[in-house]
Structure 1
């Protein structure tokens, strides 16, 4: 497929054994896309401050983005990684 690397999504995410992750508004198939997860990876529903190594927010509009960005950011460990995804048809999340 043009424009895509051949690297599997799970490898891009850089998840490691024992990591905690936070997902918001993820597609139903998302966990299948990144399976099998490394051992003991935990999906947190409500991340505590500095508690997750990876957060992925799927924003369908700017209000969702703004609310969930802050929650995800605050939950990230100091060396954590935050991914934000939105549908291609939305022009830069309606110019946040």
Structure 2
């Protein structure tokens, strides 16, 4: 996979907020996907500072949700990624559905980004009062 996503030219790990020493987890990445993180970013053990969860369909979001949220640090970021409409994947998931699900389950969205040519992602965090 490419080291930058979209037109900004920023490496994906920067867009996702992975910092030195961050614990990062990819959940259900598509075949061939690799996150080019600096050597000082570690996979580590739970809880994770940054999770990138790939959800091709709405059912995947529902199936992955509870376990993913439970794996986050208190101030961590949960990125939910879905196929872009332009990908031709035929997903029933989009940014609005991810946002609605997150808000209904206590997380708020703070950022959106292009993960790569196929996937978009929405950054979700706990509300400040819940940290």
TM-score (ref. length: structure 2): 0.54
What is the match of residue 25 of structure 1? 28
What is the match of residue 12 of structure 1? 15
Give the deviation of 1:21 after TM superposition: 1.8
Check the 8 A contact 2:22/2:41 in 1, yes or no: yes
Higher relative contact order (CA 8 A, sep 6+): 1
Check the 8 A contact 1:16/1:41 in 2, yes or no: no
Give the deviation of 1:43 after TM superposition: 5.3
The answer for unaligned runs of 5 or more in structure 1 is: none
Check the 8 A contact 2:50/2:76 in 1, yes or no: yes
Secondary structure of residue in 2 paired with 1:35: coil
Give the total of aligned pairs.
86
What is the match of residue 57 of structure 1? 53
Q: Give the root-mean-square deviation of aligned CA atoms.
A: 2.3
Query: What is the CA–CA distance in structure 2 between the aligned matches of 1:72 and 1:36, rounded to whole Å?
Result: 20
